[in-house]
């Protein structure tokens, strides 16, 4: 039975499409269900994962079975966006939500916002106003478009609010609420702290680093990926690096020459390699691994936030970040993709030269409460 069956009230449709969305939507759905007059509708577009692959994340995060699964799958940005819109339109027509809530900056986020607006359904965007100012990033376009058409904009940090005001958004539509990613991190702290991942990987806390790479600008460009692997290999001479490999990245590595694969360490020889490739981890195992790392090297936006909340030094392997508070307040260093810069900064961090950090304002695990309180008030006033 649908978990919302039999309930009457305003309908909030929360649309998710990729793994980062799940961690952002989970605390929102949980908070919505605490209101007797809110009916949450969970719509999974399947942008990156079909339901069978996403099931582990849904189970870990206590997300209900989606009310609607669109099974869009992969494709070009245009194909994926178009497919989400085509499949969402009849879903919205059937479900008749009073508002659509979108999170983050993936293609499904923009597609859902566009579809809702064209159907005259109000849109709330969680994680509004983040800007890298690099329009070659698909996520940047998704952020700009979604913010331009959303009715209610929830920012994680001051820079988000400032960007929206500069773009002409009315201040009355902007809410500084904190970060829902941190809500999930804190909600499930006892579970990820109890993870046996260190025993499974035979590593001691505080003796290793963690690597993630998945952005097209890093993994689809052969020379850039070669440079990054060179840098990681050099850093791993100072500290072992554990590299849960994103499927996209694994395909690129497998298509490269044998020397590069050997430099990373295959499954067969990874116990002897300082740079260990492993399969992707579940949410709890991954958080446990990151929380006890000495250093993290990544191109992930969400991981910049999580390392800041956890106080773990982070090197961002990009030329810019849309989350500047992780640099000004947190543990993040933006180092680009040049091996010399990456290795030099890693050595400084490992020698004790990491950034003195504090947790950003309102990153207290209560962002979802603030968001749903606003939405509940808005919807109640409109009835």
Residues recognised as catalytic = 214
For 251, the token pair is 């395909």
d(CA 327, CA 308): 9
**CA 99 – CA 103 distance, rounded (Å):** 13
SS3 assignment, position 275: strand
Taking a C-beta distance cutoff of 8 angstroms, is the pair 105, 135 a contact? Answer: no
Neighbour count for residue 53 (Cβ, 10 Å): 12
CA distance linking residue 312 with residue 290, whole number of Å: 8
Q: 90: which residues sit within 8 A by CB, 6+ positions away? A: none
Instruction: Identify which of 228, 209, 220 has the alpha carbon closest to the alpha carbon of residue 249.
Output: 220
User: Does an H or E element contain 109, and which?
Assistant: helix 107-118
Q: Where are the alpha helices (DSSP H) in 188-324?
A: 189-193, 197-201, 216-219, 222-235, 247-255, 258-264, 283-291, 301-310
List the Cα angle 236/19/260 in 5-degree steps.
30
Contacts 24+ apart (CB under 8 A), 312-318: 313/349, 313/354, 313/355, 315/342, 315/345, 315/346, 315/349, 317/213, 317/218, 317/228, 317/342, 318/215, 318/217, 318/218
SS3 assignment, position 371: helix
* Cβ proximity of 315 and 294 under 8 Å: no
DSSP state of 134: -
Give residue for tokens 């908070």.
31
């Amino acid at each position: 039975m649908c978990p919302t069956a039999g309930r009457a009230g305003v309908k909030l449709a929360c649309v998710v499409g990729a793994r980062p969305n799940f961690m952002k939507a989970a605390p929102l759905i949980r908070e919505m269900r605490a209101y007797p007059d809110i009916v949450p509708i969970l719509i999974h577009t399947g942008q990156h994962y079909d339901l069978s692959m996403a099931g582990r994340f849904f189970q870990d995060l206590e997300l209900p079975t989606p009310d609607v699964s669109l099974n869009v799958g992969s494709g070009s940005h245009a194909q994926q966006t178009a497919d989400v819109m085509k499949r969402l339109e009849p879903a919205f027509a059937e479900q008749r939500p009073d508002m659509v809530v979108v999170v983050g900056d993936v293609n499904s986020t923009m597609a859902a916002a566009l579809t809702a607006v064209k159907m005259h359904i109000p849109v709330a965007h969680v994680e509004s106003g983040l800007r890298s100012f690099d329009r070659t990033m698909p996520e940047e376009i998704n952020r700009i478009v979604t913010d331009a058409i959303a009715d209610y904009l929830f920012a994680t940090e001051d820079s988000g609010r400032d960007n929206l005001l500069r773009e002409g958004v009315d201040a009355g539509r902007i809410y500084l609420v904190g970060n829902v990613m941190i809500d999930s991190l804190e909600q499930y702290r006892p579970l990820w702290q109890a993870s046996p991942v260190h025993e499974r990987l035979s590593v001691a806390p505080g003796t290793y680093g963690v690597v993630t790479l998945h952005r097209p600008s890093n993994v689809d460009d052969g020379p850039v990926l070669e440079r990054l692997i060179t840098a990681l290999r050099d850093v791993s001479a100072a500290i072992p690096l554990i590299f849960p490999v994103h499927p996209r990245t694994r395909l690129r590595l497998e298509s490269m020459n044998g020397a590069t694969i050997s430099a990373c360490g295959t499954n067969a020889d990874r116990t002897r390699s300082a740079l260990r490739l492993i399969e992707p981890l579940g949410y709890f195992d991954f958080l446990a691994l990151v929380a006890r790392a000495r250093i993290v090297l990544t191109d992930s936006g969400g991981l910049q936030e999580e390392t800041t909340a956890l106080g773990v030094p982070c090197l961002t392997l990009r030329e810019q970040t849309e989350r500047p508070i992780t640099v000004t307040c947190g543990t993040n260093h933006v180092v680009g993709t040049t091996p010399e810069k990456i290795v030099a900064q890693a050595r400084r961090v490992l020698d004790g030269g990491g950034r003195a950090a504090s947790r950003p304002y309102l990153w207290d695990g209560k962002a979802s409460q603030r968001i749903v309180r606003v939405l509940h008030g808005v919807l109640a006033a409109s009835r």
